[in-house]
Structure 1
Amino acid sequence: MRTRFTWGLTVNIMPPDYELRLKIVKNKIAGHEVSKLIAPEVLEYIANNCENDVRHLEGAINRLYAVTAMYSPKEINLEFAKDALKDYIGSSVYITNNIQKIQKAVAEYYDLTVESLKSKKRTAIINHARQVAIYLCKMTTEETLDKIGLEFNRDHATVIHACDKIGESLKKDEELREEINKIKDKIMN
């Protein structure tokens, strides 16, 4: 039996990258009646936290649909989605992260100190690292935007700006996606 399998073409199947996961999530919700209620950051949250396979993505979307049907919210924002998916995505290692752990991993990755991420310094590398850290905190923790801002000595609007900027950049910047994946690996280990 083993020789039959080795006879064929050998193909390495990798899990989908962030961009592909995001496209899959968008396609899956496109025709659904609640698609207009779903905020874009919810799609990013699902794509960020269901990294292994498409079935996990589909399961998260189905869970979100089921909870939406039960509660009939006016909009499906990130807070609603995190609450709806906490048991499903909650098994993910990322959801147990805390802000300090993310700050430490990002600071180490960019060869900075945690204090510099929290400082008022605005050099390009510190700004970039801070925005990445804020984005990861939003997408991989249960903390509020105000709490995340407090941990970085920033206000709510700055947190939203950082998340929007990194979220947009991820759509077209392969290098940034690799950076974030390496940092996530660092956080896991």
Structure 2
Amino acid sequence: MTLLAPPWNDLVRVPENRSAVRAVWQLGRALEQSRRVVSPLLLHGLPGTGKTTLVDALVQAVTESPLGHTVQIVAANDLDSRPQEGEDDGTYPELAECDLLIVEDVQHLPPRSADLVGRVLDLRTRSRRPTVFTAHAGPAALLNVPRRLASRLSAGLVVPLEAFSPKSRLKLLRFHADRLKIKLTADALRWIADQPAGGFRPLLGMLQTLRGPARKSMTALTREQVANLLANDARPPAVADIVAAVAASFGVSPKELLGTSRLKTVMLARQTAIYLARTASKLSLPAVGREFGRDHSTVLHAVRKVEELLTKDADYAGTVKGLRTEISG
């Protein structure tokens, strides 16, 4: 029986991602069957080429299987606070002993943490536990990564993800439009696919904008209707307004929220603001990261944390709902 079927059915295979989909799928199958797999696996490509989608599918498949595998996902720039020589704050074993470790955006790895990553890789290799890295470029182009670690990455499986061609963008849009039950004419789909969005994520944002009007329409939306709807889409709230509202709600200053404080209240306020900037302002992960001075994997981590907390804490969910209403005017 294949335990990894559901998430992979949501992945659209196109020439630009076919090798990466296969590599991630094989890694998941190897975990399922307790087989050895080539590790580390490095997925590299520009923002919007599908690295996050592949990682999410792998994590979902592994965590939802009945085998009880454990997964740790960490943004490379967060490794600066991980234990160094002679230190032990309880986080080091989590990296070395989990069944699957994913390190996102390794190009942002702090130089002083390169040795830590090397030690973790040594331990994981000896215990045959797979590790996945993501990056914006291949090992040779990771100028901030020490040569020794780059060589370790090169010795594993390195798989590029290319920018989607117009034909692939159209195929991806058609799949997601069907999944979201958005009826669009062929001309409308082609028009969206041809938009200079700089990656696929903004195109998904366009589909989300069209979701409401499409439900109300008895017929498929035409190219003209789509163009008008997107042109007249309500202006999303500014990030500065989100930061101000969240800071006031949590009793911190905007400067603290945008800073580096790791106080629990400040960190939760920051994660909440990042979540609202991502979901209410319709900004891409890299765009939100630029607003908050973080990389896109840190943004994704914050979004995941908030989504998890929303399901567990009714009071917090009420606070976020109130903030969403406030910033929407």
- TM class by shorter-chain length? 0.5 to 0.7
Give the alignment partner of residue 62 of structure 1, picking from 159, 169, 181: 181
- 1:82 matched residue in structure 2: 205
**Which whole-Å CA distance do the structure 1 matches of 2:267 and 2:208 have between them?**
31
Judged with a 3 Å threshold, the aligned counterparts in structure 2 of structure 1 residues 113 and 169 are, in CA distance, closer, same or farther, namely: same
**Which whole-Å CA distance do the structure 2 matches of 1:111 and 1:135 have between them?**
18
Amino acid at match of 2:276: L
**Which whole-Å CA distance do the structure 2 matches of 1:178 and 1:78 have between them?**
28
Give the alignment partner of residue 151 of structure 1, picking from 281, 288, 291: 291
User: Which protein, 1 or 2, shows the higher relative CO under an 8 Å CA cutoff with sep ≥ 6?
Assistant: 1
Shift of 1:85: 2.8
Where 2:247 maps in the other structure, the secondary structure is helix
- 2:327 matched residue in structure 1: 187
Amino acid at match of 1:160: L
Give the alignment partner of residue 117 of structure 1, picking from 230, 254, 257: 257
Identity of aligned residues (%): 25
**Which whole-Å CA distance do the structure 2 matches of 1:147 and 1:177 have between them?**
25
User: How many residues get paired?
Assistant: 131
| Cα deviation code 1:34-64 (max 9, x no counterpart) | x724978xxxxxxxxxxxxxxxxxxx9322x
- 2:304 matched residue in structure 1: 164
Superposed CA RMSD: 3.3
Is contact 2:285–2:299 with CA below 8 Å preserved after alignment? yes
Structure 1's unaligned 5+ residue stretches are 1-34, 41-59
Shift of 1:148: 1.3
1:134 and 2:108 matched:
no
**Which whole-Å CA distance do the structure 1 matches of 2:236 and 2:206 have between them?**
14
- 1:45 matched residue in structure 2: none
- Greater share of residues in helix: 1
**Larger Rg belongs to:** 2
Structure 2's unaligned 5+ residue stretches are 1-8, 13-52, 57-178, 194-199, 213-229
| Cα deviation code 1:112-138 (max 9, x no counterpart) | 111111111110000000000000111
User: What TM-score do you get using the length of structure 2 for normalisation?
Assistant: 0.35
Judged with a 3 Å threshold, the aligned counterparts in structure 2 of structure 1 residues 114 and 61 are, in CA distance, closer, same or farther, namely: same
- Greater share of residues in strand: 2
Is contact 1:103–1:114 with CA below 8 Å preserved after alignment? yes
Where 1:121 maps in the other structure, the secondary structure is coil
User: What TM-score do you get using the length of structure 1 for normalisation?
Assistant: 0.57
